[in-house]
Structure 1
Amino acid sequence: MKSQINKGNPMALLPLGIFLLLFVGSGIITGDFYKMPVLVAFIIAAAFALIFNRKESLQTKIEVFCKGAGDFNIILMVMIFVLAGAFSSVAKSMGGVDSTVNLSLSVLPPNLLLSGLFIIACFISVSMGTSMGTIAALGPIALGVAEKTGMPIALVIGAVVGGAMFGDNLSMISDTTIAATRTQGCELKDKFKTNFLIVLPAAIITAVLLAVVASGYDGVVKESYSYEIVKVLPYLAVLIGALCGVNVFVLLGSGILFAGAIGIFSNAFDVLGFINAVSDGIVGMQEICLLVIVVGGVVEIIKFNGGIDFILYFITSKIKSKKGAEFGIAALVSIVDLCTANNTIAIVTAGPLAKDIAKEYDIDPRKSASILDIFSSCWQGMIPYGAQLLTAAGIAGVSPLEILRYLYYPGLMLVCGIIAISFGLPKLKAIKEDKLVA
C-alpha cells in the first residue's frame, strides 16, 4: 500500500513558472530561444523562490537554498562534469576526435554509405559524449557525401543528427547520462545496459531504413582518411572501463592522464599545452556546473514550500499503477525539455521529482534514469529550436524543418521508450541496495 502524500502547495511551483516564462517567452518574442541565457533565467527564478513564503525568514530560506545547492549528489555531479570536460578537451587537443572520425570513415562500406554514416555518428557520440561535437565533426563530411552521391543534404545531415543523439543518450561521459544516474541513484554501467536494450531496436531499424532510402543513389565516395589508432585508445579505454564498473573519478582521471601522455609523446602538445587543455575543458563546463548548483537550490526551496508534494499528489491522483508512474516521469521530463530546449537541464530539473515518484511506485532506479534520458534526448533531437538542429542546419545551410522529416532515430527512440513502458521492458533483475548510488 502506498504511503500518504501531502497535498502540498501548487504556488510553490511559481519559480519554475517564472523560469519558463522568461526563457520560453523571450524565445517566442525574439524568435531566438537562446537570447535569454538559461543561467540568468534560473537565477531570477531563484530570487523569486527566496521571496516566496513570507512565513519563513529570509535567512531560513537561504539556508534551505544552500542545502540544496550543496547537496552531495549536486556537488558530485559538478565534479564529474569538470572531469568529463577536461577529458574531452585533452582528447580533442591531442587529435583524438580527428583520428576517431577518420578511422570510422576508413572502414565505411561504400554500399552502406548513409547507414554507415549513422553508425559512425553513433560510435563517435558514444566515445566523445557530446552530440554537438559529433555534429560539428561529421557535418562537413556529410555535406561532401551529399554532394558526391546526389542525396538530399537534409537526409544526410539528419542521419548524423540521429547518430549524435544515440551517444548523447548513452555515452558514459555525456552530461545527460551523468545527470540521470546521479539524480536517480544508480551506476553508470547499469543505466547504460538498461537504456541500451530499450534503444537498440531503434538504432537497428534506423540503419536499415537509411540503407533502403540510400539505395536509389549510385554515387560512391572514395577518399583516403589518415588516422592514428593510438589516439582513439583513450575513448575506448573510458568506454570499456565504464562498462566494467570502474569508479567514475578513477575512470575520467586516468582517461585524462592517458590522453595527455599520448598527446605529449606524439608531440600534439607539451606539458604546458596539456595543462591548458585541461583548463579549457574545465572552463567549458563552468556554465553547466553553476546551473546545476542553482537548480539544486531552487528545487530544494520548492520542495521546502510544498511544491514537490503537490506534484507527487497530482501525479499519484491521476495514475494508479507503476506503469502510469513511468509515463508520468516521461511526460514530466518531456515537457521540461520542450520548454527549455536543453535535455541536461530537463533531467536536472525533473530528476529529483522523478526520484520521488520512482520511490513511491517502486520503479527501479535504472529504469527511471533511462526514462529520463531517453525522453529528454529524443525530444532534444527533434525540436527545431534546439541547439543540435540549429547547429546542423547552420552547417548544412538548410532549414531545421527540412531536417526534421529525416530524423528517423529520435522518432523511433520515442516509440521504443513508449513500448518499453507499456510492456514493462526490459525485464530487470533485482540488484542489491549497496550497489545503488546513494
Structure 2
Amino acid sequence: MPSFGISAAPIVLLLVSLAAVVAFVGADAISVLSPWALLTAAMLAVLLAACSGSLSRRGMKLGFCRNSTQIMPAVPMLVFIAMVSTTWMLSGVVPTLIDYGLRILNPTFFLVTACAVCAVISVLTGSSWSTIATVGVAFMGIGTVMGFHPGWVAGAIISGAYFGDKVSPLSDTTVVASSACGVDLFEHIRYLMFTAIPAMVMALVVFFVAGIMSDPEPAMATSDILDRLAVNFNISPWTLLIPAITLTMIAMRVSTLFTLFVSSMMGLAGIFIFQPGVTEMLLGGPSVGDYAAMIGRLLWTDTTFATGHEAFDSLVSTGGVTGMLPTIFLVICAMIFGTAMIGTGMLSVVTHRITSRLYGRFAIVGSTVAGGLFINGCTADQYISLIIGGNMFRNVYRRFGLEKRLLSRTLEDSVSVTSVLIPWNSCGVTQSTVLGVGTLTYLPFCVFNYLSPLMSLLMAFTGFKIKQAAHLARRRVAASA
C-alpha cells in the first residue's frame, strides 16, 4: 500500500487545479477544464503507485469493474435525458407548462412553489434526475422569464428534488444507503425524517423570504413571452399527456432508461401531432428521407429559433445529444479518476487515516460527514460513496455502540444530497447541463442540500434521538482520556 502522503497527492493536485481554474479563469470554465484536471490527477495516482511499487494489475481491474458498473449506466441515461429535453420543448410540453405557469404563479411565491412541487413529484417518483429533467426544466424556463437569478431557480428545483429523492421509498439511493448499512428501508426513512424535515422546512422558509424580498427584472414582459409562445407553439393541455404518462411510468417503477426512451419517443410523435408549425420550420422537404433527416437532426444537434428576440430564442432553443457530450466526457473522466484512486489502494489509505483515531459521538458523525464528502469527490459517484462509506464506518459505529441507522442516515445526509454540489460528480454535471446553470452558480442556493449534513452534525452534538450502548460509550471515553 502507498503511504498517506503519496495517496493524498492526487487529491491535492485535483483540488489545487480546480481552485486555480476558478481563481484565474472563472467558475464558468470549470465544466470545460475539470475533465483534464481529473485525468491529470488520475495519471499522477498511477505514476506514484508504480514508482512506490504498489501498483497491481488485479487492483486496477477490480477498481475499474467497481467504478464502471456504477457510473457507466449514467451515460445512456444522459443521452435519453437530452432527447427528452429536446422533444419535450419542440412538442410543446415545456412551452405549455411555461405558459400555464406564467398565468397561474405569483412571482412572490415562485421559488417556494418550485421547491415544494419538485419535492412532491420526487417523493412520488423516487427520482431526482427525472424530476429535474422534466418538471425542473419547465420551472427553470418560468423562472428565467420572471427574471429570477438562475442560481435561485436551480437551487429551489434541486433542493425540492433531492429532498424527495432522499425520503422516498422508491428512491434507489435510499435503498442503497439502507442496505449498505444493514438497516430496514422504512426504519431508515423514519429516522431520516429527523434531519430531512427540519432542513426542508428551513429551505422552504429561505425560498419564501427570498421570493418576498426579491425584485426580479424580467428580460422581457410576461405578455410578450405569452404572445411569442402562442405564435411559435400550439399551447394545448393535450401536450401534458406526455409528462403525465412519463410520471406514471416512473411511479410504477418501470425501468428509468425505458421510461426516458418512451418519453422521448412520445415527445417526438408530439412534434408531428401537436406542432405542425415547428414541423414545417424543421422540415427540409416533403419526402420520407427529409422526415428521417429532420428527426436525426433535432435529436442529435441543436435546434435554434430565430424570432428576433434573444431572450425568447435562448429559452426555447435545444441542444440535442451533442449538447450532452461534454457532460458524458466529464463523467468518463471522473470514472477514470475513481478507478485510479480505488485500484491503487490510495482511497483506502486516506479513508483509513480518517477512521483510525475516532473517539466520541460527535467526532464519529463528523468524520462520517467529512468522509462521505471526500469519497463523493474522489469517486464522483454517490452509489459507490454510499457503499464504501457503509463498509468503512460500520465497524467504527459497532465499536462505539452506535446504531446502524445513525450511520445510514449520516451517509444519506452527507453523500446523496451533496453529490449534486460537486462539479465533476455525475449528479453535478448532469443537473448543471440539464438546467443550463453552472454547478458553482447554483451551489450557494441549494439550501436543503447543505443544511442536511449540518443537521446531522447538530443532531450528533445534541444527541437527539441517538442511542448509544452505555458501557461502550464509557469505555471509549476512558480510552481517550
> Structure 2-normalised TM-score?
0.60
Partner of 1:277: 298
Measured at CA, do residues 33 and 88 of structure 1 come closer, stay the same or move farther in structure 2, by a change above 3 Å?
A: closer
Distance apart, 1:39 and its partner CA: 0.8
The answer as to 2:231 corresponding to 1:238 is: no
Measured at CA, do residues 116 and 201 of structure 1 come closer, stay the same or move farther in structure 2, by a change above 3 Å?
A: farther
Measured at CA, do residues 82 and 200 of structure 1 come closer, stay the same or move farther in structure 2, by a change above 3 Å?
A: farther
Do the aligned partners of 1:128 and 1:235 also contact (CA within 8 Å) in 2?
no
Measured at CA, do residues 128 and 331 of structure 1 come closer, stay the same or move farther in structure 2, by a change above 3 Å?
A: same
Partner of 1:432: none
Q: Which moved more, 1:328-337 or 1:233-242?
A: 328-337
Distance apart, 1:288 and its partner CA: 2.6
Do the aligned partners of 2:156 and 2:207 also contact (CA within 8 Å) in 1?
no
The residue type equivalent to 1:357 in the other structure is G
Spell out, residue by residue over 1:339-375, the C-alpha distance to the aligned partner (whole angstroms, 9 max, x if none): xxxxxx6772675344212134256878745632323
One of 387, 408, 418 as aligned partner of 1:375? 418
One of 79, 84, 98 as aligned partner of 2:81? 84
**Superposition RMSD on alpha carbons, in Å?**
5.1
Partner of 1:261: 269
Partner of 1:41: 37
Write the distance in 2 (CA, Å) between the matches of 1:37 and 1:119.
Answer: 35
Distance apart, 1:242 and its partner CA: 2.3
The residue type equivalent to 1:80 in the other structure is M
Do the aligned partners of 2:55 and 2:344 also contact (CA within 8 Å) in 1?
no
Do the aligned partners of 1:67 and 1:300 also contact (CA within 8 Å) in 2?
yes
Distance apart, 1:276 and its partner CA: 2.7
Spell out, residue by residue over 1:133-188, the C-alpha distance to the aligned partner (whole angstroms, 9 max, x if none): 56852344332xxxxxxxxx77xx6752432322563688xxxx99968986989x
Measured at CA, do residues 370 and 266 of structure 1 come closer, stay the same or move farther in structure 2, by a change above 3 Å?
A: farther
The answer as to 2:416 corresponding to 1:357 is: no
Distance apart, 1:37 and its partner CA: 0.7
The answer as to 2:84 corresponding to 1:99 is: no
The residue type equivalent to 2:79 in the other structure is V
Write the distance in 2 (CA, Å) between the matches of 1:425 and 1:282.
Answer: 47
2:355 aligned counterpart, secondary structure: helix
Partner of 1:118: 112
1:6-405 matched pairs, under 5 angstroms: 9-32=4-27, 34=29, 37-54=33-50, 60=57, 64=61, 67-68=64-65, 71-108=68-105, 110=106, 113-120=107-114, 123=117, 127-129=131-133, 133=137, 137-143=141-147, 159-167=152-160, 169=162, 199=196, 201-208=198-205, 211=208, 225=226, 227-267=235-275, 268-269=278-279, 272-280=293-301, 281-319=320-358, 327-332=366-371, 334=373, 348=380, 352-360=384-392, 361=394, 368-369=411-412, 371-377=414-420
The residue type equivalent to 2:345 in the other structure is G
Unaligned runs of 5+ residues in structure 2 are 120-127, 280-290, 302-319, 395-403, 424-430, 467-481
Do the aligned partners of 1:264 and 1:274 also contact (CA within 8 Å) in 2?
no
Write the distance in 2 (CA, Å) between the matches of 1:424 and 1:245.
Answer: 35
Unaligned runs of 5+ residues in structure 1 are 1-5, 144-152, 338-344, 381-385, 394-399, 427-438
Q: Which moved more, 1:73-82 or 1:247-256?
A: 73-82
Measured at CA, do residues 130 and 379 of structure 1 come closer, stay the same or move farther in structure 2, by a change above 3 Å?
A: farther
Measured at CA, do residues 259 and 324 of structure 1 come closer, stay the same or move farther in structure 2, by a change above 3 Å?
A: farther
Do the aligned partners of 2:139 and 2:157 also contact (CA within 8 Å) in 1?
yes
Do the aligned partners of 2:250 and 2:256 also contact (CA within 8 Å) in 1?
yes
Do the aligned partners of 2:162 and 2:449 also contact (CA within 8 Å) in 1?
no
Do the aligned partners of 1:346 and 1:376 also contact (CA within 8 Å) in 2?
no
Q: Which moved more, 1:318-327 or 1:40-49?
A: 318-327
Distance apart, 1:211 and its partner CA: 4.9
Partner of 1:148: none
1:245 aligned counterpart, secondary structure: coil
Q: Which moved more, 1:13-22 or 1:270-279?
A: 270-279
Do the aligned partners of 2:49 and 2:344 also contact (CA within 8 Å) in 1?
yes
Write the distance in 2 (CA, Å) between the matches of 1:58 and 1:411.
Answer: 37
The residue type equivalent to 1:114 in the other structure is T
| Count of paired positions | 380
Do the aligned partners of 1:330 and 1:371 also contact (CA within 8 Å) in 2?
yes
Distance apart, 1:204 and its partner CA: 4.5
Distance apart, 1:252 and its partner CA: 1.3
Distance apart, 1:257 and its partner CA: 1.3
The residue type equivalent to 1:14 in the other structure is A
Measured at CA, do residues 336 and 132 of structure 1 come closer, stay the same or move farther in structure 2, by a change above 3 Å?
A: farther
Q: Which moved more, 1:282-291 or 1:28-37?
A: 28-37
Write the distance in 2 (CA, Å) between the matches of 1:237 and 1:421.
Answer: 43
The residue type equivalent to 1:86 in the other structure is M
Spell out, residue by residue over 1:378-408, the C-alpha distance to the aligned partner (whole angstroms, 9 max, x if none): 688xxxxx979xx889xxxxxx89x96x876
Spell out, residue by residue over 1:282-302, the C-alpha distance to the aligned partner (whole angstroms, 9 max, x if none): 322222322222322322222
Spell out, residue by residue over 1:276-324, the C-alpha distance to the aligned partner (whole angstroms, 9 max, x if none): 3332433222223222223223222222322122133123224468986
1:52 aligned counterpart, secondary structure: helix
Write the distance in 2 (CA, Å) between the matches of 1:168 and 1:328.
Answer: 26
Write the distance in 1 (CA, Å) between the matches of 2:297 and 2:456.
Answer: 41
Write the distance in 1 (CA, Å) between the matches of 2:364 and 2:452.
Answer: 20
Write the distance in 2 (CA, Å) between the matches of 1:130 and 1:12.
Answer: 41
Max Rg structure: 2
Write the distance in 2 (CA, Å) between the matches of 1:285 and 1:240.
Answer: 26
Write the distance in 2 (CA, Å) between the matches of 1:128 and 1:88.
Answer: 10
Write the distance in 2 (CA, Å) between the matches of 1:387 and 1:13.
Answer: 28
Write the distance in 2 (CA, Å) between the matches of 1:421 and 1:229.
Answer: 49
